[in-house]
Amino acid sequence: MGVALEKFPAICGVLPGGSGILTTADAFINWSRKSSVWPVTFGLACCAIEMMAAYASRFDFDRLGVIPRPSPRQADLMLIAGTVSKKMADPIVQIYRQMPEPRFVISMGSCANCGGPFHDSYAVLKGVDKIIPVAVYLAGCPPRPEALYYAVLKLQEKIQQMKIGHGAGAAPQQERGSRDLGAP
C-alpha cells in the first residue's frame, strides 16, 4: 500500500485531470486515516491512568475510531503518557520504529513535554521530542481525558491536511520522513 501511494502522484501527474484525482484520493485517504487512529497500548506513569480513563465508557474513544492495539505493528499513534526516564528512551524509539508509517505521536502531560516536576532529575528525559517527533503536545499534570480527546481532534485536523503528492501541510513526521531519526 505504501509503495503504491508513493508512486500514485507521479502516475496522476501524466494523466489528464490527474490533479483532481489526486485531490479526491487525498480526501479519501485522509478521511480513512483520521477515522482509524489506533494507539499502541502502553503507559509510563500517572498520566497513563487518565489515558485509560479516556478509553473507558464515560469518554468512549471508540466513537472517534481510536481503538488501542496491543502491537506497534498494528498501531499508528504513540501516546506518550507519563515520565520518560532515560532508561525508557531506547524501548520507546524501538517501539516507534516498529510502527508503520505514517505514524504520529501525542506527548501527554508536562513530564512527556519537558520533564515536568522531574525536570531537574538526572534520570529523566527533558521532553520526549528529543528522541521522537511529536505531532501534538498536551499540557497538564495530568491532563484530563477531555484534554486528550481534544489532542486527538487536533491530530485528526493535522491528518486532514496531509497530501500524498508532497509534504506540504502534512504532519511533521511525514514532512521529514520519520526514518531519519537518530538514536537517543
HSE, side-chain direction, 13 A CA sphere, residue 109? 27
Q: Does 125 bind ligand SF4 (CB under 6 A)?
A: no
Best CA proximity match to 100, nearest among 33, 9, 24, 10: 33
Would you say 26 or 50 has its CB closer to ligand SF4? 50
Interaction residues for ligand SF4, span 139-168 (CB under 6 A): 141-142
Would you say 114 or 164 has its CB closer to ligand SF4? 114
Q: Which of 25, 46, 52, 95 is close enough to bind ligand SF4 by CB under 6 A?
A: 46
Per-position DSSP letters for 5-26, written without gaps between them? HHHHHHHHHTSTTHHHHHHHHH
Contacts of residue 158, defined as CB under 8 A and 6 or more positions apart, other chains included, come to 104, 135, 136, 171
Residue with cell 515536568: 116
53-to-56, 59, 74, 146 alpha-carbon distances in Å: 5, 7, 22, 10
Q: Closest distance between ligand SF4 and the C-beta of residue 23, in Å? A: 41
Give CA–CA dist 69/102, Å, rounded.
Answer: 16
Q: Closest distance between ligand SF4 and the C-beta of residue 87, in Å? A: 15
Q: Does 111 bind ligand SF4 (CB under 6 A)?
A: yes
Segment lying near ligand SF4 (by CB under 6 A), choices 2-10, 11-19, 105-113, 152-160: 105-113
Distance of CA 11 to the CA centre of its chain: 29
Would you say 82 or 133 has its CB closer to ligand SF4? 82
Q: Does 107 bind ligand SF4 (CB under 6 A)?
A: no
Segment lying near ligand SF4 (by CB under 6 A), choices 95-103, 110-118, 125-133, 174-182: 110-118
Binding site for ligand SF4 (CB under 6 A): 45-47, 82-83, 109-111, 116-117, 141-142
